[in-house]
Amino acid sequence: MKHRNLSKQLIIWIMPLVCSLLIHACSVISCKLNRDDKIWLLERKDSIHFLKNNSDTITVAVNTGFGKSEYEWVYGFPSGDNDEYGYSEIKIPLSDTIHFFRYLIKSCFEIIRIESYSQYNDKTLDVFRYYANKDSSTNFKYISPEMEYENCFYYSNPEDSIIKEFIFVKKHGIIKFITYQNDLFELLQTE
């Protein structure tokens, strides 16, 4: 009888420990960015070119980087994720501000996040976040003066004080956007 009670107590104490160790071991496994993830970014480009209002060409620097999320440890257990991520960012000078588009992709997530924000006198204004499902396919096509794009993601935000609308495409990033001053920017293909 005593032996049975001791066995039960051991099981009661050991099982939660074993379960927590299993959960901990599974949560430490991180996801890696694969080629399909990276294709959403502008990894192989140092700059891109936009045609502004069908007349002026603007060259915009591309900043692409990669990293790994870090866990926050809470009571000895990891919280958050430990996954790789990548981003591309373009910075576009407008008449009175600098506007940024940033594409962020995480390895274990099925979405890509597109951020649109502006800076004026070193102050960040109007941060908007848009999302696209990595595996989705759209019926939206856009024909630029140089190329036809398929599976475009169209975003419109008339409440944004800087960008009214933009079109985003896998492998190319932002291919068109219109500012609140009705300036039209279209991506030029240089390759």
Q: What is the pLDDT of residues 131-170, one digit of tens each?
A: 888 877 788 999 887 889 999 999 987 776 678 889 999 8
What pLDDT is stored for residue 186 in this prediction?
94
Q: How many CB atoms lie within 10 A of CB 185?
A: 23
The pLDDT of residue 76 is above 60: no
- For residue 44 the two structure tokens come to 């192989």
User: Does 46 or 1 have the greater pLDDT score?
Assistant: 46
| Direct distance between the N- and C-terminal alpha carbons of the chain, in angstroms, rounded to an integer | 81
Query: Cα–chain-centroid distance for residue 3?
Result: 58
CB-CB contact of 73 with 95 (8 Å): no
What pLDDT is stored for residue 79 in this prediction?
55
Q: What dihedral angle (degrees, nearest 10) is formed by the CA atoms of 147, 66, 127, 93?
A: -60
What pLDDT is stored for residue 75 in this prediction?
61
What pLDDT is stored for residue 191 in this prediction?
58
Closest CA relative to residue 49, chosen from 166, 186, 171, 170? 186
What pLDDT is stored for residue 26 in this prediction?
47
Mean of per-residue pLDDT scores for the chain: 80
Summarize pLDDT for 160-170 with one digit per residue, the tens: 667 888 999 98
Percentage of residues in the chain having pLDDT higher than 70:
75
